[in-house]
């Protein structure tokens, strides 16, 4: 049986060091694949997301992307946005506008800008709402939170919906051992974060992160983080996502609006999984929040499907 071959790459996102970010499979020539084939491939790669690059149907877009988790399709996700754009540019893609690359996805058009070695996407509008008290209590119990560790909470929706909890300290975030079965039964995705309030905390966190990333031959040196983040998505087939652009985008919009984070900061994510993800979050003078990071290609080849 003849099988079509398509350009394929696997990119590590939110890192400039292979194996320390969030891996993304990218099919660069996805025309002709059915929804069922895309979903089956996402289950087969078993990564948090697999992206499929297609010709745009909107005249203002440079390309279109569909994003699948092992459990279903997403209308938007951050690390596939940056990783797909990186792979598209590396394969010779040329944006219409020299200032921005424009990606089409299910939430609409997403602008992406280049700054040195990093790409950054314009965070889509985030809808915020309270989490129902009963559900919040169930989530807190599944996470094993103790009294006083929960500081604030919001449901954040920028395509994916993240039930987001601000905790008292980065050590609390890193020490969580969730009951993933209970989170899966609740059918929710949960993001947790905590602010580094002292330089000493950040230095300790950096040392711990680099120790956990010791499988790399050369441990990277990172700037001190301002926010520690984890993302639990058992309901989507991923117990814990290594580094999460959509969550960091909505967290940035929420925490900046409440005066809990400055207009420019660095988030750290993935240390509990042996990763060292770096997410740069910035709000410009017009109020647009940008979420950026580095990417690096680890696998290039052909997919026969």
pLDDT tens, per residue, the chain with 305 residues = 568 899 999 999 999 999 999 999 999 999 999 999 999 999 999 999 999 999 999 999 999 999 999 999 999 999 999 999 999 999 999 999 989 999 999 999 999 999 888 999 999 999 999 999 999 999 999 999 999 999 999 999 999 999 999 999 999 999 999 999 999 999 999 999 999 985 444 445 545 544 544 444 444 556 899 999 999 999 988 999 999 999 999 999 999 999 999 999 999 999 999 999 999 999 999 999 999 999 999 999 999 98
- Strand pairing category for 161-167 and 190-195: parallel
- The reported pTM is 0.90
State CA 68 to chain mean position distance: 13
Mark whether 164 and 274 lie in a shared domain: yes
* DSSP-based three-state secondary structure for 17: coil
- In CATH, what number is assigned to the domain containing residue 270? 3.10.310.10
- In which domain, by residue range, is 72 found? 5-122+293-304
List alpha helices for the chain, DSSP H.
35-45, 78-90, 133-143, 170-175, 180-186, 199-212, 245-257
Q: DSSP letters along 135-147, please? A: HHHHHHHHHT--T
249 and 268 in a common domain: yes
As to burial, measured by CB atoms within 10 angstroms (0-12 exposed, 13-18 middle, 19+ buried), residue 286 is: exposed
Half-sphere exposure of 164 (CA within 13 A, CB side): 28
Give the number of domains in the chain.
2
268 and 135 assigned to the same domain: yes
């Amino acid at each position: 049986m003849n099988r079509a071959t398509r350009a394929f790459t696997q990119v590590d996102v939110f890192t400039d060091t292979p194996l320390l970010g969030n891996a993304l499979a990218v099919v660069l020539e996805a025309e002709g694949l059915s929804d069922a084939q895309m979903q089956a491939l996402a289950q087969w790669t078993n990564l948090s997301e697999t992206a499929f690059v297609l010709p745009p149907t909107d005249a203002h877009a440079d390309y279109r992307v569909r994003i699948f988790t092992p459990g279903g399709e997403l209308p938007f996700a951050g690390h596939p946005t940056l990783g797909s754009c990186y792979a598209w540019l590396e394969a010779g893609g040329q944006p219409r506008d020299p200032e921005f690359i424009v990606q089409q996805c299910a939430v609409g058009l997403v602008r992406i800008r280049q700054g040195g070695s990093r790409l950054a996407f314009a965070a889509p509008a985030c809808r915020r709402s309270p989490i129902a008290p009963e559900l919040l209590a169930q989530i807190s119990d599944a996470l094993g939170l103790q009294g006083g560790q929960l500081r604030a909470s919001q449901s954040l929706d920028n395509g994916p919906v993240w039930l987001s909890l601000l905790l008292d300290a980065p050590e609390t975030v890193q020490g969580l051992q969730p009951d993933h079965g209970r989170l899966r039964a609740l059918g929710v995705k949960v993001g947790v974060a905590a602010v580094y309030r002292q330089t000493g905390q950040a230095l300790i966190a950096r040392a711990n992160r680099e120790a956990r990333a010791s499988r790399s031959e050369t441990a990277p040196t990172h700037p001190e983080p301002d926010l520690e983040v984890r993302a639990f998505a058992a309901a989507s087939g991923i117990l814990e996502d290594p580094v999460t652009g959509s969550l960091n985008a909505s967290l940035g919009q929420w925490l900046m609006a409440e005066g809990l984070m400055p207009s420019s900061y660095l988030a750290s994510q993935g240390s509990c999984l042996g990763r060292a993800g770096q997410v740069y979050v910035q709000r410009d003078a017009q109020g647009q929040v940008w979420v950026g990071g580095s990417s690096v290609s680890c696998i290039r080849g052909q997919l026969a499907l």
